[in-house]
């Protein structure tokens, strides 16, 4: 490879597509000017997301911080992070996702910056600014021979940074995986392009390393196996097809290595339990045809969010996007739109049209979360558009340039229409982004806003109900407490009205009733939860507690026994078994169950006190 550098052309000497032909020389800017542009990008990022810096932990942020034992160990937890799943430090389940780089990132924050919410939000914005700077440098290299080089690079970068659909990623600390993945993705393509121009091994090595780090951040990188040869075809026209294939092989090898590592560490590369409807509404489809038709409709919603990002929501679960068939108008419209852009992109491959590459980038990177090929743990997520939206921004900006910027010179006068349109888009997007950020201040603000954005989402109503429940429990004033309780009850009922099988909502409604002394209603809610999910140890145990308090010990014992059978490591249920036998005068059995509870939870003071009350104990 290094012995024949003359076969690899040092630059793109022809237009990369019919739509980009021009008789003018590209505009080149000095290094100082490019530094100035990077500073502008940095400032723009903090203007867009500066209002998130004082936000709290939101949604599952804390799962990757305060509630993750490995992250809490700081750098000492690195070994455990590298050898377990993404969620193992939280729930001890070694399955699903393997993204060690993200948790190591949080562990470093914990080690040196205490891992507070303020720190997490600051680094999210800082890393997002780095995304913008790296993206601008990459695009500047990508379009180096285009007459509108800097205009295009700045426009694409700014519209991508300002796009409101990114608020879920930047304002949600947990989504650091998306940001890190994007950073290493850009480095992968940047240095691959450099290598294709000069055939030096160092850029290739950096590109391959960046690709491996992309995979360790999030699984998006698996789609690059299809993207890399297309990228080289579009933007390194001097490369023969054989060399494009050759240059792709190292990345395939890295993907295989990642799979081997992941498979050797995780007990299950997917989640072992059957997909629940509340996680992915497509699980409600009665046949594969309806599931596929609904997935196509959801793809149409992704396009809608890119063109018109309003309203936005943290959750689109059951039944915000109902299962449908192929004759549904939204499904047909989505099928038509994707068919049209698919044909456009395929026709653009031969001409090496960058807009076509943008569309292919969008389609390929979105494919892994589309529910078309693999069923994922979500119906739809705005975060899933973080990387694919770059392809959208490239395609739209190129097409707008071709319409309004196709001129003989790149003077200010000639690029004025393009500049005005882009400024309008950037300003409109920025206003929406800044506004949407306010919803992410805390859980109550987010859930209150999003039940209006997605009124048919059972989980959105459940999430808001849970916040009202916790607020009611903490309230001091009786009137305020009662009002919050009524709001919680209302939202829980709306949740189970949308999805009667939402066992967690029934259970938490029972907890709410119990905390307010409405024991009959609590028991009814627990029994409904058990009716939906028979093996539900917490609901079984709580129902048993109510019977225990009624002194119906036989019924209580039956529920506690079922709870222990469902989960033999359930310390509370074991303790409750001991309490029943204690009250029934069967002291030997009570002692056995108390001891078992203490083995599972040695710090249970209540059990220790009960043990002292047993006859024969000191």
Mean pLDDT of 579-591: 95
- pLDDT at position 616 is 75
Axis crossing angle, helix 519-532 with helix 537-549, rounded to the nearest 10: 150
Mean pLDDT of 177-186: 98
- C-alpha dihedral sign at 71, 73, 78, 83: negative
Mean pLDDT of 317-323: 96
Please say whether the beta carbons of 170 and 179 come within 8 A: yes
Reported as a single tens digit per residue, the pLDDT across 211-261 is 999 999 999 899 999 999 999 999 998 899 999 999 999 999 999 999 999
Per cent of the chain over pLDDT 70 is: 92
Cα gap 469→472, rounded to integer Å: 5
Q: pTM of the entire structure? A: 0.91
Reported as a single tens digit per residue, the pLDDT across 18-75 is 333 333 344 445 567 889 999 999 999 999 999 999 999 999 998 998 899 999 999 9
Please say whether the beta carbons of 568 and 590 come within 8 A: no
- In order of 221, 222, 261, 371, 378, the CA distances from 214 in angstroms are 6, 9, 14, 21, 21
Please say whether the beta carbons of 564 and 544 come within 8 A: no
Reported as a single tens digit per residue, the pLDDT across 64-107 is 988 999 999 999 999 999 999 999 999 898 988 999 999 999 99
Mean pLDDT of 570-584: 96
Helical (H) or strand (E) element with 246: helix 241-265
Query: What is the location of CATH 1.25.40.10 in the chain?
Result: 445-613
- Fold for 445-613, please state it: 1.25.40
- pLDDT of 459 higher than 60: yes
- pLDDT at position 238 is 85
> What are the residue ranges of helices labelled H in 442-552?
443-453, 458-474, 478-498, 503-515, 519-532, 537-549
- pLDDT at position 273 is 53
* Residue 533, helix vs strand vs coil: coil
- In order of 130, 133, 228, 455, the CA distances from 187 in angstroms are 11, 11, 13, 40
- pLDDT of 380 higher than 70: yes
Predicted confidence band at 16 (pLDDT cuts at 50, 70, 90)? very low
DSSP letter assigned to residue 268: B
CB-count exposure of residue 408 (10 Å: 0-12, 13-18, 19+):
exposed
Reported as a single tens digit per residue, the pLDDT across 383-415 is 999 999 999 999 999 999 988 865 545 555 668
- pLDDT of 14 higher than 70: no
């Amino acid at each position: 490879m290094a012995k024949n550098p003359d076969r690899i052309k040092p630059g793109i000497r022809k237009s990369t597509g019919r739509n980009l032909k021009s008789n003018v020389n590209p505009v080149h800017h000095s290094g100082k000017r490019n530094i100035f542009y990077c500073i502008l990008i940095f400032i723009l990022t903090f203007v867009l997301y500066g209002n998130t810096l004082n936000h709290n932990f939101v949604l599952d942020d804390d799962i990757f911080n305060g509630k993750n034992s490995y992250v809490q160990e700081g750098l000492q937890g690195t070994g455990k992070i590298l050898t377990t799943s993404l969620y193992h430090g939280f729930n001890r389940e070694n399955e699903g996702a393997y993204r060690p780089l993200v948790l190591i990132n949080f562990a470093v924050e914990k080690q040196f910056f205490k891992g507070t919410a303020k720190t997490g939000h600051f680094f999210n914005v800082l890393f997002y600014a780095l995304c913008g700077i790296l993206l601008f440098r990459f695009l500047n290299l990508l379009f180096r021979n285009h007459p509108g080089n800097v205009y295009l690079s700045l426009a694409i970068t700014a519209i991508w940074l300002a796009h409101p659909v990114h608020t879920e990623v930047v304002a949600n600390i947990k989504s650091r995986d998306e940001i890190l993945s994007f950073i290493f993705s850009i480095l992968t393509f940047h240095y691959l392009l450099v290598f294709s121009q000069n055939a030096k091994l160092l850029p290739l090595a950096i590109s391959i390393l960046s690709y491996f780090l992309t995979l360790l951040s999030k699984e998006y990188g698996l789609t690059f196996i299809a993207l890399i040869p297309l990228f080289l075809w579009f933007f390194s026209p001097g490369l023969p097809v054989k060399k494009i294939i050759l240059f792709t092989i190292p990345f395939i090898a890295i993907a295989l290595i990642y799979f081997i590592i992941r498979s050797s560490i995780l007990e299950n590369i997917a989640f072992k339990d059957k997909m629940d409807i509340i996680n992915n509404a497509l699980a409600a489809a009665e046949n594969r045809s309806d599931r596929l038709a609904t997935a196509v409709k959801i793809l149409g919603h992704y396009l809608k969010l890119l063109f018109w990002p309003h309203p936005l929501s943290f959750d689109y679960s059951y039944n915000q996007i109902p299962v449908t068939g192929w004759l549904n108008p939204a499904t047909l419209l989505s099928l038509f739109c994707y068919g049209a852009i698919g044909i456009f992109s395929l026709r653009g491959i031969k001409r090496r049209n960058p807009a076509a590459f943008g569309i292919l980038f969008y389609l390929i990177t979105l494919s892994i979360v589309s529910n078309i090929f693999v069923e994922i743990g979500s119906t739809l997520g705005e975060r899933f558009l973080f990387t694919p939206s770059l392809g959208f921004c490239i395609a739209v900006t190129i097409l707008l340039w071709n319409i309004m910027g196709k001129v003989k010179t790149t003077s200010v006068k000639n690029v004025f229409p393009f500049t005005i349109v882009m400024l309008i888009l950037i300003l409109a997007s920025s206003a929406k982004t800044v506004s949407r950020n306010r919803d992410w201040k805390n859980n109550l603000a987010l859930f209150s806003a999003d039940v209006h954005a997605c009124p048919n989402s059972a989980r959105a109503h459940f999430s808001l109900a849970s916040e009202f429940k916790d607020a009611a429990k903490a309230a001091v004033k009786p009137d305020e407490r009662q009002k919050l309780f009524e709001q919680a009850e209302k939202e829980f009922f709306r949740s189970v009205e949308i999805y009667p099988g939402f066992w967690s909502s029934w259970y938490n409604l029972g907890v709410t009733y119990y905390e307010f002394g409405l024991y009959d209603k609590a028991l009814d809610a627990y029994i409904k939860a058990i009716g939906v999910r028979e093996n539900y140890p917490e609901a079984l145990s709580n129902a048993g507690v109510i019977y225990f308090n009624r002194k119906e010990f036989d019924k209580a014992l039956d529920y506690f026994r079922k709870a222990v059978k469902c989960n033999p490591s359930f310390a509370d249920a074991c303790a409750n078994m001991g309490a029943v036998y204690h009250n029934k005068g069967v002291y030997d059995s009570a002692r056995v169950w108390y001891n078992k509870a203490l083995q599972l939870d040695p710090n249970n003071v209540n059990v220790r006190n009960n043990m002292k009350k047993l006859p024969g104990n000191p």
